[in-house]
């Protein structure tokens, strides 16, 4: 995952001038230099300090120690900076623990009477599970009074079917904005129907008859936990880390369990001519002998025939059709991630296929996943083969790393996040020996040498002054 940032966060610079042309180069592996932040403070210099190459290990010199101290001090100065927000940029939101309410017409369906008043249509019993929103609507507990600002281009959702089009936030979205200072969270003292139509100025200090403002500590106590309308601490830490890095993060919808009655797509039938042509010219499968060498003696004109005899262990071949007996897994995709370059054209109504899928794992509560759990997690993702531009011998590393299905595991250990890529790679599909048959391998020398070789041995005919 390449690191990038959005408008409100300053771009992170690195300490090294890495080989950008290297196909295995990953900018995420580079350490971050915080000395550039000193230029943003009042006491900092107007120019960014010149950075050298990355030091492999400490060598105990004063110069290296002074550079590290300057970077640490710049980071501490940035953390000590007091951030202020103007009243025009403040956005108020209300916390409703019961979540999004649906109109009575969706609950009763065709049985609703035509004479139902508008007030009665919105007076929904939120304790009825049949009325609660489906999918992620059950976790949306924060209603934004007026969604203004760049953050809401990629955050929040307007539920379908509600009378008043208000933006609702998930717990991690609301807590992230409160922590940044872009959202003022309030506890309402009036019902949802009365708060929906209210807009205007408000006083953060004393509170009004509509409700009271909540602190950051209160927001943590309301949103962190297990259950509907809550988010675990590990999940929020991963969400906040990705948002600060600049990615577009959206919670993944609940995984769909495939139905047993749903038939799997079948391959189109082949014609009679194709079947006969394949039978005549198909190569016979080579069965290894019960004893003796794997490669039978003989004359071989290609490396493929030799390596086919050495291949006695079946290899995995990915298939776009998921297996009927998909293994169950406790792991599931938590977030869909889009790169920052997609922000200018990103639309919440049609976001498109995500660039990454992340599953959050707690290192303290979860053991190392088994092969069956990883296979079940990968099969829950859609078919995503390597790109066509990765074809060729040079891009084999990218094809193996991407695989045909891939998920990133975000392992959280007491606030420390490690990202591990799990992919359904097909090593058996990478025929490395085909390079030799195409002339890309080691070339043999010409017979006779053409006088190009230089002898380095001493011949017997070379005289040293002896008698004949």
**Do the Cβ atoms of 201 and 297 come closer than 8 Å?**
no
Provide the token pair at 405. Answer: 């299905």
Domain 232-256+300-441 is in which class? Answer: alpha beta
The boundaries of every CATH 3.40.1350.10 domain in the chain are 232-256+300-441
Residue 120, pLDDT > 90, answer no
Cβ neighbours around 359 below 10 Å, total: 23
Residue 163 is predicted with a pLDDT of 57
Q: CB-side exposure of 219: number of CA atoms within 13 Å?
A: 24
Q: Does residue 187 sit in helix, strand or coil?
A: strand
Q: Determine what percent of the chain is predicted with pLDDT higher than 70.
A: 60
Q: Quick check: 433 and 307 in contact, CB under 8 A?
A: yes
Task: Among 65-69, 87-91, 233-237, 255-259, name the one with the lowest average pLDDT.
Answer: 255-259
Q: Give the model's pLDDT for residue 202.
A: 54
The dihedral region occupied by 225, where left means phi > 0, alpha psi between -120 and 50, and beta the remainder, is: left
Instruction: Indicate the pLDDT class of residue 61, thresholds 50, 70 and 90.
Output: confident
Q: CA-to-CA distance for 411 and 359, rounded, in angstroms?
A: 8
Beta-strand pair 406-413/356-362 = parallel
Residues of the chain with CATH 3.40.1170.20: 88-231
Please state, in angstroms and rounded to a whole number, the distance separating the CA atoms of residues 233 and 344.
30
Residue 167 has pLDDT above 50, yes or no: yes
Tokens encoding 286: 């080579």
The secondary structure element, H or E, covering residue 310 is helix 303-310
pLDDT for 105 equals 37
Which H or E run contains 273?
helix 272-281
C-alpha 206: how far from its chain's center?
42
Whether the pLDDT of residue 218 is over 90: the answer is yes
Instruction: Give CA angle at 349 (346, 353), nearest 5°.
Output: 60
DSSP track, 367-425: -PPPHHHHHHHHHTSPP-PPPGGG-SSTTHHHHHHH-SSEEEEEEEETTEEEEEEEE--
If you classify domain 88-231 with CATH, what class do you get?
A: alpha beta
What pLDDT, in 10s, does the model give residues 352-399?
Answer: 999 999 999 999 988 888 888 888 888 888 888 888 888 877 788 888
Q: How far apart are CA 224 and CA 237, in angstroms?
A: 11
pLDDT number for residue 235: 96
Would you state the pLDDT for residue 48?
52
Beta strands in 162-314 (DSSP E): 167-169, 184-188, 211-213, 248-251
Model's pTM, two decimal places? Answer: 0.64
């Amino acid at each position: 995952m390449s690191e990038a940032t959005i408008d409100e966060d300053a771009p992170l610079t690195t300490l090294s001038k890495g080989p950008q042309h290297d196909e295995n180069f990953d900018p995420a592996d580079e350490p971050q230099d915080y000395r550039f932040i000193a230029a943003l403070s009042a006491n900092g210099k107007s120019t960014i300090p010149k950075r050298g190459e990355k030091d492999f290990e400490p060598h105990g010199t004063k110069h290296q120690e002074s550079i590290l101290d300057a970077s640490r001090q710049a980071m501490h100065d940035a953390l000590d900076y007091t951030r202020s927000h103007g009243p025009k940029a403040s956005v108020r939101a209300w916390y409703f623990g019961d979540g999004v309410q649906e109109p009575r017409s969706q609950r009763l369906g065709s049985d609703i009477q035509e004479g139902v008043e508008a007030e009665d249509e919105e007076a929904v019993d939120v304790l009825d599970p049949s009325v609660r929103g489906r999918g992620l609507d059950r976790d949306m507990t924060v209603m934004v009074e007026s969604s203004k600002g760049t953050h809401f281009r990629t955050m929040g959702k307007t539920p379908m079917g509600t009378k008043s089009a208000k933006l609702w936030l998930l717990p991690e979205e609301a807590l992230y904005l409160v922590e940044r200072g872009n959202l003022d969270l309030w506890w309402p003292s009036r019902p949802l129907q009365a708060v929906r139509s209210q807009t205007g100025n408000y006083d953060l200090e004393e509170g009004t008859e509509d409700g009271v403002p909540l602190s950051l500590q209160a927001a943590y106590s309301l949103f962190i936990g297990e259950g509907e309308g809550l988010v675990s601490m590990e999940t929020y830490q991963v969400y906040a880390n990705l948002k600060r890095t600049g990615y577009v993060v959206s919670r993944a919808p609940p995984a769909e369990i495939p139905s047993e009655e749903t038939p799997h797509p079948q391959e189109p039938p082949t014609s009679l001519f194709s079947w006969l042509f394949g039978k005549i010219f198909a190569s016979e499968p080579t069965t290894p002998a019960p004893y003796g060498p794997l490669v039978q003696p003989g004359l071989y004109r290609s490396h493929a025939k030799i390596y086919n005899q050495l291949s006695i262990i079946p290899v995995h071949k990915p298939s776009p059709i998921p297996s009927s007996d998909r293994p169950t897994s406790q792991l599931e995709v938590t977030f869909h991630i889009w790169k920052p370059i997609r922000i200018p054209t990103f639309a919440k109504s049609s976001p498109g296929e995500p660039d990454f899928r992340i599953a959050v794992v707690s290192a303290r509560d979860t053991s190392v996943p088994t092969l069956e759990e990883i296979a079940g997690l990968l099969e829950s993702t859609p078919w995503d083969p390597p790109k066509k531009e990765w074809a060729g011998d040079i891009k084999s590393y990218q094809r193996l790393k991407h695989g045909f299905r891939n998920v990133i595991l975000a392992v959280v250990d007491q606030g420390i996040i490690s990202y591990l890529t799990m992919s359904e790679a097909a090593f058996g599909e990478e025929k490395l020996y085909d390079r030799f048959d195409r002339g890309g391998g080691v070339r043999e020398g010409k017979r006779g040498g053409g006088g190009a070789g230089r002898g380095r041995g001493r011949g017997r005919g070379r005289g040293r002054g002896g008698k004949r």
